[in-house]
Amino acid sequence: MKKIICSLCCLLATVNFAIADDCSEYEQYQNKPYNVYLEETGKKVVYNNKIYEVGDDYIPENCHPESTWSYLWNYIGTCGEGGSEGSGGNEQGNAGADYEHNTVSCLKKHLIIGYWHNFNNNTMNGLKLSEINNAYDVINVSFGETDASDRAVITFAPDNSIYETEAAFIADIQALQAQDKKVNLSLGGQNGIIHVANENDKTKFVNSVIAIIEKYGFDGLDIDFEGTSAGGYSSSFINPNANAQLMIDGIREICEHFGNDFLLTMAPETAYVQFGINQGQAPAYLALIYGLRDKLTVLHVQLYNTGSSNDLYGNSPTVGTADYLVAMTEMLLQGFPCCGTTFPALDESQVAIGIPACTGAAGSGIVTMENAKKAMQYLITGVKPAGMNYTLKNPNGYPDFRGIMTWSVNWDASNNYELANTFDNYFDEIGNPVMNCGETSDNEAPTAPSNLAATPAEKSVALSWDAATDNIGVKGYNIYKGDTKIGYATSCTYTATGLTAETAYTFYVEAYDAAGNKSSKTSVQTTTLESTGSEGGEGGEGGGEDDYGECTEPAWDETKNYQTPGEKVSYKGKIYKVKSSVWWTTAGLSPDTNTNQWDYVSNCDGTGGNSGEGGEGGSTIDPVDTGIDYENGKRFVIYFPNWGNYNTAHISITVSMIPWEKVTHINHAFFQVADNYKLESTDNFIDFDKAFEHSEGWEDGALRGHFAEYKHYKQLYPGVKLLVSVGGWTKGHNFHAMALTQERRATFINSVIAFLQLYPFIDGIDIDWEYPGVNRAADPNDTADKGCPGGPEDAVNYVALLKELREAFNANNMQDKLLTVAASINQNVIAQGANPSNYAQYLDYINLMSYDLHGAFERTTNHHGAIYANPNDPSETALERETFNASAAAAFFAANGFPKSKIVVGSPWYSRGWGGVSAGQKGDGLFQPATGYERGAWDDPYTSTPGGQYPWFECKKLETTAGWTKYTDEYAKVPYLYNASEGKFLTYEDETSLAERCDFVLNNDYGGIIVWEISGDDLNNGAPLSTIIYNKFYAAEQPTGIDYSTTDSAFECSVSPNPATEFISIKINKDAAIAIYDLFGKCILTKNIHAGDNTIRAEEVGQGWRIIRILDGEKNENFIVLVK
């Protein structure tokens, strides 16, 4: 379907599993590490009377199979159940739906469901609803999409190239309904990424959907989300993360608003449903399906554009075959193991098959009508057609199975309605009566609400009324402002906001019941209060607009969402501009009060302005004396390790050694959350007491330590931003407990505010929580590492912490203070915590830890800071192969809430290494097994598992040391060192790869580079790495376009348009090869292309996000294109 997949999903490896008769032969789980040296893979243990198998990776202490580390274990079965192969479900018969579910009246027993294009894409363009083949029973109108300024608000309008008027569109819906057809609003599509992060978002989502359905008269709602809209991964589908629960609650409110005859259908992808089998986490959709199964009419999983998945027997049937359709479908009818329990079976009347209508309708998973009909016959009758291998768990079949869904009606029309005609004839053959159509409907309307009263304020009106009555009970109340519905309420109060002062309004309230009957409307007239007039402000004493002269900037429009950072408006005699950290503003919230999104500039007469419009709290870097040109907005962020002064391996670094004239931001590492939940230094002596050159003395209150140095150099370089970084790998142990309650968060935040007030030269706070949602045990080999406890509640609490920090900055006149985070780029880790789109709005920028991606914690050599993917990467999952690199990471965050300018890409100025590495076929040690470890200068001298961590300047020396050979991966664009005689391998960043990384940032308009960490540079010899970034970002002429040239041969290419609807144009100056993948890592197309213009038809690759890899034998480039 026409969708955005914002998170890359891995293709899961086949796992065979069986249920044991007896558990006595297996040991009970013990609170100890497993698979320390990867020697216990496949070992079985018992936990909570269930059998689990050790996976392929190291499992830390206290990480039992049902903890947040469950993904490291493979669920096998339950002790004592007996049987041979299976899922733990019933061997015969439907596992049975153990719940009551809503039954919509007057639907056929078996349905044909199709999606109709409310857009033109050269597939039966202009097809009207009235022209659809009569065989279709349910038509899903595609799509309701999100408002560009608010991802919680759904918008919809009929395409004016198909319908000239809305009245004509509504008339066609009514004509279909008169033929007993159902027409649903489908939510999804290219702009359908929905962000519901709090109760306010949920209310906006619910109200906007209800308004659309009522306006056009839709019969129901189809949920065609991708995973992040559904709330992301949860450790449990029964108790999902907060975002998923908000979405469940919102959809339930919509269903209950319209009553029992309201249809609810869902069209998830297999990655978000069946891929959950035997996994430790619940994919996004499972929580929605489980939480709404009592409201669900039909679930039709998209059994296409996907990779194969395990079935109930542990096999992986080929996508597109009858076996695949039946196997994936019976998982929903029998239930399947997930998250240490069983995802329960759905009622057979709630499940349908989802397939593409014909060739071209999908990128993969095309099904012949012969195979589709075979699958349907087998599911309904239980009679196995010839040539099929899969055997139903229920030998009697599922006679009430609901039917078939297709993408799309338009594609089917282009193929002479082969699908519709095939299944219309088949369902007629077996009998397809209309069901549940004999009941007497309720036609009695509620009484009108009484005693409607209004209490006006300047920009809002509070309404209240006495309850209405109804024979079956009042369901709720619709609220109107004039003729426009503005919301609904389930209680007898409602507050209308966003109004204009001194304006007369008329409000109406009507009651409705579960059958959809509505009362007459009760009205009230009122006038909002007069404006409060002059207000004192940041620019000087108060007064009205006339007090500050005539404004030349356009007046602020309360109905508008401003989407251009830096755009200026006038309001009450003052000029405001949109913060550069904001990509949209909230309509109705005036600039004088909405300081989170607007900066005060000056009075209209030019007086009273702030000293400088900069400060990156509005994210514009102040100019410094050094001549750095910051106009391109690129940040050069460094970490400064407070322990480095003790350690010669870190060059006994001091603040004075920082190349202040070259950097833009400094993260002081680290502070931590104390046991009393307050902010504290990890080393008070080195930070605040040790005597350095610019210490202020020894009297009480005198500043010493690193921070005395910072204070001095900040006076010399006021444009350089100084942040305190909290946490890190070893100092994040109290994050989870602190964020757990609002009271504890307030304790921490208050201490942050006090700290920033005490040291005003500090510009902000960086939160380095590694990682929300992940329960990481302490390292027994490193006493400083206390681990980082975590749980599913972190997803909500992490967002709340950032939101409340930002609000505290604003409330304490600290709008110019920076709030940033360091983020993992591992999407398995991200899925356990908060979706980036839920917290992006609170941050000035985000630092991506695009390093430590591979290391001695694995037993195969690989790059720990790749810029691009290498197609030969031996990592077991597509997720790792395709996304463990800076390019994919930055694209992921750009697709999940962050403007590119706020994405700062990580660069490692140190190595990761292995020992006991064989040369391999190419003789370079890359992607080879490792049996030992390499101890680097930065490694803990006491650990038994060192990581081969050398600072860059030591790696530089090894490049010319006897026995070592330097190589460069032309795919990943990073170097590595191999010592064949000693079996040692190091992966690191060098001057060339750092320049490549800078070019990647510049060419793709990302926000800069962050390095871990500055003492890896050769600071005693001119800071060569820092100089490279300085020259790339500030000293050299900035590129005006993308240059893909290489040293050996000019390699220039471009891909357009993006999005693409009909074709993809690839322009290149030399012959090359291309490979096109979907976001699951499945290769869709490979071919050779020639110098000049090359065209790929969109139908060849199907709809969705596509990764286009272009290779000429020396260099490769990746492009991500949306095909609609």
Residue 156: Cβ-neighbour burial (10 angstroms; 0-12, 13-18, 19+): buried
In angstroms, the Cα distances linking 418 to 370, 409, 422, 1047 are 11, 11, 6, 55
- Residue 518 in contact with residue 478, Cβ under 8 Å? yes
Assign 422 to helix, strand or coil: helix
In sequence order, what are the residues at sequence separation of 6 or more whose Cβ sits closer than 8 angstroms to the Cβ of residue 25?
none
- Residue 953 in contact with residue 940, Cβ under 8 Å? no
DSSP state of 1110: E
Is residue 27 part of the annotated active site? The answer reads: no
Assign 553 to helix, strand or coil: coil
Residue 550: Cβ-neighbour burial (10 angstroms; 0-12, 13-18, 19+): exposed
Q: Which of 226, 616, 709, 989 is catalytic?
A: 226
Assign 8 to helix, strand or coil: coil
Q: Amino acid identity of 204?
A: K
Question: Which of 820, 707, 689, 698 shows the shortest CA–CA distance to 755?
Answer: 707
- Residue 349 in contact with residue 400, Cβ under 8 Å? yes
Whole-angstrom Cα distance, residue 604 to residue 539?
A: 10
Whole-angstrom Cα distance, residue 1058 to residue 963?
A: 48
Question: Which of 895, 848, 887 shows the shortest CA–CA distance to 866?
Answer: 887
Whole-angstrom Cα distance, residue 590 to residue 1054?
A: 43
Assign 1083 to helix, strand or coil: strand
Structure tokens, 644: 């480095």
- Residue 631 in contact with residue 619, Cβ under 8 Å? no
DSSP state of 344: P
In sequence order, what are the residues at sequence separation of 6 or more whose Cβ sits closer than 8 angstroms to the Cβ of residue 809?
617, 753, 815, 817, 819
In sequence order, what are the residues at sequence separation of 6 or more whose Cβ sits closer than 8 angstroms to the Cβ of residue 471?
442, 444, 513
Report the length, in residues, of the chain. Answer: 1124
The phi, psi pair for 880, rounded to 5°, reads -70, -45
Whole-angstrom Cα distance, residue 104 to residue 949?
A: 63
Which helix (H) or strand (E) is 1067 found in, with range?
strand 1063-1068
Whole-angstrom Cα distance, residue 1058 to residue 1063?
A: 10
Structure tokens, 122: 């050269």
Residue 24: Cβ-neighbour burial (10 angstroms; 0-12, 13-18, 19+): exposed
DSSP string covering 825-882: --HHHHHHS--GGGTGGG-SEEEEE---SS-TTSSB---SS-SS--TT---SSHHHHH
Q: What are the DSSP E strand ranges found in 90-193?
A: 107-108, 111-117, 138-147, 150-155, 182-188
Structure tokens, 1060: 């693409």
Query: How many C-beta atoms surround the C-beta of residue 515 within 10 A?
Result: 19
Beta-bridge partners for 265: 222, 298
Ramachandran quadrant class, 1034 (left: phi over 0; alpha: psi -120 to 50; beta: rest): alpha
Whole-angstrom Cα distance, residue 714 to residue 759?
A: 12
Whole-angstrom Cα distance, residue 93 to residue 1033?
A: 66
Question: Which of 996, 1035, 970 shows the shortest CA–CA distance to 907?
Answer: 996
Provide the annotated active-site residues. 226
